[in-house]
Amino acid sequence: MDLMPELKGLGLNIQELKGGITNRLYRVGSSEGHDYVFRLYGAKTELFIDRDAEMENLRRLEPSGVTQKLIKYIPERNLTVVEFIRGYVLKNHDFLREELWERIIRPIKIIHQSHAQLPSSFNPLTEVKRFYKILEEINLNYPEFDIQGTIRTLEKISGIAAIPPSHYVPCHNDLLADNFILTEEGRRHKEPMVLIDWEYGGMAPLYYDVADMFQEILVPREVERNLLRVYWEDKDLDFHQYMTDLFKPFPDIYWFLWSLIQLNISTIPFDYYTYGKVKYENAQKNMDDLKHHHGLKI
């Protein structure tokens, strides 16, 4: 425990946490009440994650009360230590529970409205192209997917959405259910729901953040509508649904390309190919929906 002198000589309980497909995660607790998560970075994750920016995200967003506290950042050891959040990790089906909708939306809005300036900009189209370039540079070819044609379609959608960087807000950009923790009563955080894992956080269109969540939790459209109703306080819902729909293909293609990269560099046992294939197919469906439901000529 040379990395954490305060833990030397204490009885420690070390438990590997399941579910990480980018990093290896370990919960380290002590008899003195310390409780941390040690995050060991996955192989070559520096290709797509700026760790310095991630740490700055945590520092700048900590006043919001809806993030983990950064304990130590040791890049030379490929390690970050954050506080362990006691509580219940959400599952996709939890987003169907009406009694949780306010709690789910609240931390997202707090972040979006925090006026924090995060160090990196997350332009969805630019990030998709960046991942595609990485894929090309490591000489990977998957002819079963029309990646170039899909990117051309995303270029058209981006032009239609037309959100300038001046309108970007602080975003998480990875709002899968596992990153929502319903906290236990009486803990340090004043908010009942905490958002963890800020590796992909940055200044981005808020519609992208919400669209990413919808593409992760895959709830019925009626539930999407209700979550948007909570977020937008029942105002201009048709417009906000349309803008969210415009951004739905972007996160799926982003994570599709991410999965193909991980397939070739990660040492974590996970079926990245199938994961990515599902994301690609979901994106194609949403692009078809934009044509048929919204009448877009893309």
Please give the chain's pLDDT, 298 residues, in tens: 556 656 665 556 777 777 666 778 888 876 566 788 888 887 777 777 889 999 999 999 999 999 989 988 988 888 889 888 889 999 999 999 999 999 999 999 999 999 999 999 999 999 999 999 999 988 778 999 999 999 999 999 999 999 999 999 999 999 999 999 999 754 555 688 999 999 999 999 999 999 999 999 999 999 999 999 999 999 999 999 999 999 999 999 999 999 999 998 888 889 999 999 999 999 999 999 999 989 999 8
- Say if residues 114 and 108 touch (Cβ distance below 8 Å): no
Rounded (to 5) percent helix, strand, coil in the chain: 50, 15, 35
Residue 186's pLDDT is what? 47
User: What is the structure's pLDDT at 40?
Assistant: 84
Quick check: helix, strand or coil at residue 103?
helix
| Nearest to 266, CA basis, from 38, 22, 17, 26 | 22
Both structure tokens of 40: 């060991």
Indicate the CATH number of 43-68+85-292 among 3.90.1200.10, 3.30.70.2860, 3.40.1260.10, 3.40.50.2300: 3.90.1200.10
Sequence-ordered strand ranges (E) for 128-287: 169-171, 180-183, 193-195, 202-204
Are β-strands 12-17 and 23-30 bridged in parallel, bridged antiparallel, or unpaired?
antiparallel
* In the chain, domain spans: 43-68+85-292
User: Tokens standing for 252?
Assistant: 């799926």
